[in-house]
Structure 1
Amino acid sequence: MSGIHSGQLMHTIEKDMEKYHVITCNHKTYPPLLKRIPDPPILLYGLGNINFLKIEPKISVVGTRNHSNEAERKVEFLLKPLLHKEWLIVSGMAKGIDSIAHRLAINNTSKTIAILGFGFQHIYPKENISLMQELAKNHLLLSEYAPDEAPKPWHFPERNRIISGLTFGSLIVEAKERSGTFITAEQALDQGREVFVVPGSILHPQSKGCHLLIQEGANLVKDANDLLNAWETYKTRSINY
């Protein structure tokens, strides 16, 4: 039976390769940083420009779906200077902070990668249909799930390890006290990556999770220079290592 299943799997993958990029862990395009995490995906499906995987530096940007009125200004203030230096934004195409980050890159003719918790034949959330089409056409969609795999609740925590694993650090823009964003932060730390957190008003529920992460030792970020300096430090440490 296992031989039959293996044959069926290979046939499915070969069919998918006609429409999508299929990147195995031994493929030259497989991101080196992702390969170093404790549980790297065996293969990745790509739709769009897979050369984006070679671009450095990349930074992961995550946060709450129900963001504050200041969220867009925060994202633009911190990331626009990085985009001018050709940084690439990685996020999860979720409602809220993720979508803001992707659209900032698109609107500034920069580059962005979306990591999906489902296959390319599905769209989630539905309101992101135009964003997903733009990302597939001019940027990159990436998923460890087969193209016909529908979104399931446990897919999203699983895909978060790819969001954090693709980059040297994750930027938490806003997070409530009980937020799924904590999963990405924990995974980044487990992977030996940096966690950067944006502080906010003590009156805003969207900042409570951020303040907890800062109390636990995450890097407080006040401007883009903090991220630029962190990248230089990371490069030096990686070379010495």
Structure 2
Amino acid sequence: MDDVTKKLFLLAHCKELNSQIIYKLLTIDPSLQIFFQLKDGEWLNYFNVKKHKIDNIKTEYYSYSADLLIKKYNQQNISFLPLFDPNYPYLLKQIADPPPFLFYKGNITLASRKKLISVVGTRYPSEYGVKALEHVLKPLIQEKWVIVSGLAKGIDTLAHEAALNHGGETIAVIGGGLEHIYPRQNQTLANKLMTSHLILSEHSPSTSPQKWHFPKRNRIISGISLGTLIIQAKQRSGSLITAHQALEQNREVFAIPGSIFDECSIGGNELIQNGAKLVQHASHIFEEFPQEVEM
């Protein structure tokens, strides 16, 4: 691990230093020496960080041993990926606020495949939602599309499992650190993904998932993929946050239509009404990416 990567690695563990500030520091000074050179007033003016907070951050920074943490993570097969690493997902690097680093377990090359599609939806899918997911995803998986989702209960879990069941590949982006799989009932599924697929997090491994982590996580789910498919979503839901983030990132948004009487279809139907592509079959996704289909 070179000097800059080691600095970024240690900053990644400072709990009071968020990823937006780290990204700004890295953008302003790729050597990260700026972290040690900024004066108290400059932290306040440029980053709105007060003296007592930066003092706490620096105390925490110097409390860590990079060598001990690396040794621990090696034993857990956890790897660290800085923004400037060649293996960093190239699509994710293009968004306005890419994570300055990622922690991962599994096959990181999956994140740089050309054919990545994100799938999100309700935690409580109906029988129709389950059938629709299988109907649309199976041909995608057979055409070697990597399925990206968030390891949540419901549609996320079913999307990951569909990839496994049909011999495909899948990526999970989680809201907490890699030592805190959420929900707990997906630990077995997560173990499978960590072995031969991929799990990503923008948080250090010991970070417990917090409610505010999940909207941030959603920008990674949409940003890492060519498009996002919504399968059943309520009018106000995390799935719609992901869809709107995909639009902001200039990605394609797809939605499977549902009954006008189903609460879990209101969000997806409104997305279609507002311009998302209606999907009844995988071919409706393929035709938006003709170059990828020909590969």
What is the TM-score with the length of structure 1 in the denominator? Answer: 0.92
User: Are 2:151 and 1:93 aligned?
Assistant: yes
Query: Out of 124, 129, 144, which is 2:202 matched to?
Result: 144
Partner of 1:239: none
Highest relative contact order (Cα 8 Å, sep 6+), 1 or 2? 1
Partner of 1:167: 225
Query: Out of 179, 196, 199, which is 1:121 matched to?
Result: 179
- Structure 1 position 72, deviation (Å): 1.8
- Structure 1 position 20, deviation (Å): 1.2
SS at match of 1:197: strand
User: Are 2:247 and 1:201 aligned?
Assistant: no
Larger Rg: 2
What is the TM-score with the length of structure 2 in the denominator? Answer: 0.75
Amino acid of the structure 2 residue aligned with 1:136: M
- Structure 1 position 7, deviation (Å): 4.3
Query: Out of 122, 125, 131, which is 1:67 matched to?
Result: 125
Query: Out of 77, 87, 90, which is 1:29 matched to?
Result: 87
Partner of 2:106: 48
Q: Quick one: structure 1 residues 194 and 16, their matched pair in 2 at CA, closer, same or farther if it must change by over 3 Å? A: farther
Residues 191-210 of structure 1: CA deviation (Å, up to 9, x unaligned): 11111011011121111111
Q: Quick one: structure 1 residues 77 and 10, their matched pair in 2 at CA, closer, same or farther if it must change by over 3 Å? A: farther
SS at match of 1:70: helix
Percent identical residues: 44
SS at match of 2:244: helix
Q: For 1:205 and 1:136, how far apart are their aligned partners in 2?
A: 34
- Structure 1 position 70, deviation (Å): 1.5
Cα pair 2:91 2:223 within 8 Å, conserved: yes
Q: For 1:10 and 1:29, how far apart are their aligned partners in 2?
A: 25
Q: Quick one: structure 1 residues 179 and 136, their matched pair in 2 at CA, closer, same or farther if it must change by over 3 Å? A: same
Amino acid of the structure 2 residue aligned with 1:181: S
Superposition pairs of residues 198-237 of structure 1, within 5 angstroms: 198-232=256-290
- Structure 1 position 14, deviation (Å): 3.6
Partner of 2:26: none
Q: For 1:99 and 1:16, how far apart are their aligned partners in 2?
A: 29
Query: Out of 161, 166, 181, which is 1:103 matched to?
Result: 161
Q: Quick one: structure 1 residues 233 and 216, their matched pair in 2 at CA, closer, same or farther if it must change by over 3 Å? A: farther
Aligned residues: 236
Cα pair 2:90 2:112 within 8 Å, conserved: no
Amino acid of the structure 2 residue aligned with 1:110: G
- Structure 1 position 235, deviation (Å): 9.3
Cα pair 1:168 1:234 within 8 Å, conserved: no
- Structure 1 position 115, deviation (Å): 0.1
Q: Quick one: structure 1 residues 17 and 109, their matched pair in 2 at CA, closer, same or farther if it must change by over 3 Å? A: same
SS at match of 2:127: coil
SS at match of 2:289: helix
Q: Quick one: structure 1 residues 10 and 235, their matched pair in 2 at CA, closer, same or farther if it must change by over 3 Å? A: farther
Amino acid of the structure 1 residue aligned with 2:253: V
User: Are 2:116 and 1:58 aligned?
Assistant: yes
- Structure 1 position 224, deviation (Å): 0.5
Q: For 1:116 and 1:105, how far apart are their aligned partners in 2?
A: 17
Residues 128-167 of structure 1: CA deviation (Å, up to 9, x unaligned): 1211111111211100011000010000000000000001
Query: Out of 189, 193, 210, which is 2:247 matched to?
Result: 189
Consecutive unaligned residues of structure 1, counting only runs of 5 or more, are 237-241
